[in-house]
Amino acid sequence: MMANGRVVWITGAGSGFGSALAERFSMNGDVVVLSGRSAGSLNVVAQKIRSNKGTCEVIPIDVQKVASVRKAANKVLRAYNRIDVLVNNAGITAFKSFEATSEREFSKIVSTNLTGMFLVTKSVLRAMLKERQGIILNVLSYAAKTTYTGSAAYSASKTGGAAMMNVLREETRGKGVQVINIYPGAIDTPMWNDRARRKFKKEMMTPWEISALIYEATVQKPNVVVEELVIRPQSGDLHL
């Protein structure tokens, strides 16, 4: 299958920030592959994209599982022969103190946010290196740059992701692959509970406005790379 625009694979695309990114890339002519755990949510996003004349495909995935990741990556590569932009956006959290976080919760958060990023990136890296082109865009968090209480596991996963992708950037320099780390502050998405969203709605950034900045980072000239992008509410940190 030939794609006129870039082929953009987005994980965590079924809601919130991921769906906004999918719509943003699509409206600019890119072919978007939507991945996430819920096929139903992905199909809702796909229907919206198609109703606006965009091109997309739904491929459910569990980023924690090697077999699921490999199957999804192979399907994308068979269909389009390439992946121009990978957006690592799948992520979960639990707003709990270190003491209150269970071993199971910690493992699930790290497995999704960090191991999942490793597995999905590894599944496309060889193809990008072969083509000597590609963008790996990682949606991290400002929690990787500061300290938020009640987010020990989440902060560990995002800080680990930042370090891992900084290493990958240096290892792929001069090989045509760009690695972009995004550090957003508070965005109005379902990751926050309803009480926090009601209380801080005016301060929080919206997924749509942030998606515009991220899209622009991916359309620079080949000799320019936006290695890091920090995007925060003008009011700074939120205090729950």
Q: Which of 80, 142, 154, 183 is catalytic?
A: 154
Q: Which helix (H) or strand (E) holds 88?
A: strand 85-88
Report the candidate in 227, 135, 151 with the shortest Cα–Cα distance to residue 185.
151
Report the candidate in 233, 86, 93 with the shortest Cα–Cα distance to residue 158.
93
- Which residues does residue 34 pair with via DSSP β-bridges, in sequence order? 10, 58
d(CA 125, CA 12): 19
Contact 146, 232 (CB under 8 A): no
Contact 95, 193 (CB under 8 A): yes
Is 142 part of the annotated catalytic residue set? no
Report the candidate in 60, 57, 68, 61 with the shortest Cα–Cα distance to residue 7.
57
Which residues belong to the active site? 154
